[in-house]
Amino acid sequence: MEFSVEHELPGRLRLRCPAGSFTQAEGCVIGALLETQPGVTSALASHRTGSLLIRYEGDVRASILAAVGLLDDKFYGEIDGSSLVREGPSLGDSLTSLFGGVAWRALLPSTLRYGVTFLRSLPLLGRGLRSLWRGRRLNVSVLDASAVGVSMLRRDFRTAGVIMTLLTLGDLLESWTHKKSRESLTDSLALNIDRLWVRRDGREVQIPMIDLRIGDLAVIRTGSVIPVDGVVFEGEAMVNQSAMTGESEPVRRNPGLSVYAGTVIEEGELVVRVTAFDSETRLHKIAEMIDESEELKAEIQNRAEKMADAIVPYSFLLAGGIYFWTRDATRAAAALLVDYSCAIRLSTPLAILSAMREGAKRGVLVKGGKFLEALAAANTVVFDKTGTLTVSSPAVAKIVPFEGYTREAVLRTAACLEEHFPHSIARAVVRQAEKENLSHREEHSTVEYAVAHGIASLVRGEKVLIGSAHFVFEDEGVTCTPEQQEVIDRETERCSVLFLAVGGRLAGILCIEDPLRRDAVDVVRQLREAGITRVAMLTGDNLRVARSVAEETGIDEVLAQLLPGDKTEAIKRLKNTGGVVMVGDGVNDSPALAAADVGVAMRSGADIAQEVADVVLSENRLAGILDARRLGVGVMKKIYRNYVFIVGANSLLLALGLSGTITPAISALLHNLSTIGASICSLRPILGSSSGERAGL
């Protein structure tokens, strides 16, 4: 099989095969074959991307690559892998099966129930033994196995059964969440285009996407999604690239300029020479970068698990000490069950779930405890511009009439012409006229439209032009006075400008902007007050507009005209100086969201951004970032307070038990009461009842 090494980490290889190398069923066969190789722990073959993700243990890299090279489609293609393609049970079915099993076992006679519990314990005990043997250290898996094992030895089958049920429930929810996230990511990236028009032998024909070839001339018209990466060969159009590059307005594309899959032609028609399609497009590369970042994130342990793992050896040490001093096996077993990590593992998830629930009530959806921790540790917040700091909807900010014309006349005439065209700037002009109740009944003759330039028509016998400076001044020869040029220069510092000319004279200009969100300025200020030392902005828009937004919001660090990969690299550089929170909303922001320590997306943003993000602001309030930060700081303080309380209380109880001051039964009772107390404290709200309270800052 032909392949290349795309990326690798210790114990992990990602290989890339040519697109279409294998089907879904064949991919399942390839994965199963590779998993039979010595040292390979898992192998996943994706037919969509042509990638092989292989995890392994030991010094077997060379043998794995050799095995992949020997794979032949004549071999794996003859094996029926359809039976290996399984969707898996739904979450509801899995939960029904889990709790149905609990109810079924409760109806069994005690002897059979004990036998079933013993059989259920074997995988858990095996996992603990493997962890102890391979890792040569005591961790939570070993403690779980020990707690179940001790309960079984003491014939306390009920306790053993409850422990196993809760552990199974946790594994089930974690697995389901990961599966749904990956499925949603795949669906949100799919363009769902099966056929397209291409120019071949001087005529247009419609072909299936699978028949497309590099170098073909794809024909794409108004309203269509561009399904390929390529270079414009012929034609001219306004292309909405906001989802890919972050530019707030449609951009003109003409021969020689590049276009990207996933962008939309708002007006015009293009013939594009195909340079990449399917798995080679920039859109698909975004998915690969996200996948890489997600894999790296998955290797980071949750803080609570680290705490629990660190304490496990002391639990065993204390149990051994009690047995050494008292020679009482029952007392030693009680000490093993009455341990530090039990309370930590219970109170920490409760604190996190409580914070997540509190955030959800305020429109801040946090996808996991590790992101609350990262929010607390962050010292840098990075914003995208379009759709994040701004509302991503062009609007008329100002109308400047020149001598002989009124503001109302300029707007009315502009709306009269622009209402015939569907692009976003035209809609902004028409909306402004409607907002001001200005009627703009048609008084013009036939409209002549130059794609990506402007509009020309006759109104009451005079030629009227509206469009870009290039169209009005260079193409049509309209002149302006030095005083008018001074006004134009001043306004173009902050806005895009439409020019209106009547009868060969400049009648006025319409300043178009992408307005800031109402709370943007306050949010940036409050982030600084909250201890964020660095606030930056990354955008695909031009530097002039970016600087204008930065000045208005108080952001002092700006990088403009960035592609998605550039944003990702910028985030990686910023992470060298501390924790980074990235806030964005578009497809182009997704790799940066995944690369940051915490990615934050707006609910109104692209589906892929919401799937990749670690925090979603469901009410589209930029101020939700402040709530997320406060929740993170507050929950980490709560976890550390619980940690100190649990260690102190249980150390005292074990010391009292070891000295014989209290009996094991009293020790166990007080331990359970302390665990309940820590859990109750974990459920207390962090932000309080007032939305303006700044808990944790």
Spell out the domains of the chain, with CATH numbers in brackets: 4-84 (3.30.70.100), 91-188 (no CATH), 195-280 (2.70.150.10), 364-391+517-629 (3.40.50.1000), 395-513 (3.40.1110.10)
Q: Do residues 686 and 361 touch, judged by C-beta distance below 8 A? A: no
Mean pLDDT, the chain, integer: 77
Q: Give the per-residue pLDDT at 49.
A: 62
pTM of the model: 0.55
Q: Do residues 282 and 261 touch, judged by C-beta distance below 8 A? A: yes
Q: Express each pLDDT in 430-479 by its tens digit.
A: 889 888 888 755 555 556 666 556 788 887 778 889 888 888 898 888 88
> How many of the other CB atoms lie within 10 Å of CB of 70?
10
3-state SS record for 611-638: HHCCEEECCCCCCHHHHHHHHHHHHHHH
Quickly count helices (H) and strands (E) in the chain.
Answer: 24, 24
Structure tokens belonging to residue 128: 């603990």
Average pLDDT on 341-365 reads 74
Question: CA angle at residue 225 from 220 to 230, to 5 degrees?
Answer: 60
Q: Give the per-residue pLDDT at 176.
A: 57
Type of residue at 675 = T
Q: 515: which DSSP letter?
A: P
- For the four alpha carbons of 383, 388, 390 and 392, in that order, the dihedral sign comes to positive
Q: Express each pLDDT in 36-55 by its tens digit.
A: 888 898 888 877 667 788 88
Poorest-pLDDT segment among 267-271, 363-367, 625-629: 363-367
Poorest-pLDDT segment among 299-308, 318-327, 461-470, 568-577: 299-308
Q: At 290, is the pLDDT very low, low, confident or very high (cuts 50, 70, 90)?
A: very low
Residue 7: strand, helix, or coil? strand
Q: At 29, is the pLDDT very low, low, confident or very high (cuts 50, 70, 90)?
A: confident
Q: At 695, is the pLDDT very low, low, confident or very high (cuts 50, 70, 90)?
A: very low
Which strands form 557-559's sheet, in the order they lie side by side? 364-366, 615-617, 598-602, 579-584, 378-384, 534-538, 557-559
Per DSSP, the residues of 365-388 read EE--HHHHHHHHHEEEEEEEIIII
Strands 4-9 and 12-16: antiparallel
Torsion angle in degrees (nearest 10) through CA of 67, 73, 74, 76: 70
The whole-angstrom separation of Cα 455 and Cα 205 is: 32
Q: At 5, is the pLDDT very low, low, confident or very high (cuts 50, 70, 90)?
A: confident
275-284, 320-329, 496-505 — which one is most confidently predicted on average?
A: 496-505
Average pLDDT on 54-58 reads 87
**Which of 384, 585, 589, 627 is labelled catalytic?**
384
Structure tokens belonging to residue 184: 């949603």
Type of residue at 366 = V
Higher pLDDT, 627 or 386: 627
Does the pLDDT value for residue 335 go beyond 80? no
The whole-angstrom separation of Cα 501 and Cα 466 is: 6
The whole-angstrom separation of Cα 468 and Cα 497 is: 7
Q: Give the per-residue pLDDT at 668.
A: 58
Average pLDDT on 635-655 reads 82
Q: At 198, is the pLDDT very low, low, confident or very high (cuts 50, 70, 90)?
A: very high
Q: Express each pLDDT in 235-253 by its tens digit.
A: 988 887 765 655 556 788 8
Say whether 384 is catalytic.
yes
- Give which of 120, 651, 634, 123 is closest to 343, Cα–Cα: 651
Structure tokens belonging to residue 29: 């066969």
Higher pLDDT, 292 or 76: 76
Q: Give the per-residue pLDDT at 690.
A: 40
Q: Give the per-residue pLDDT at 691.
A: 39
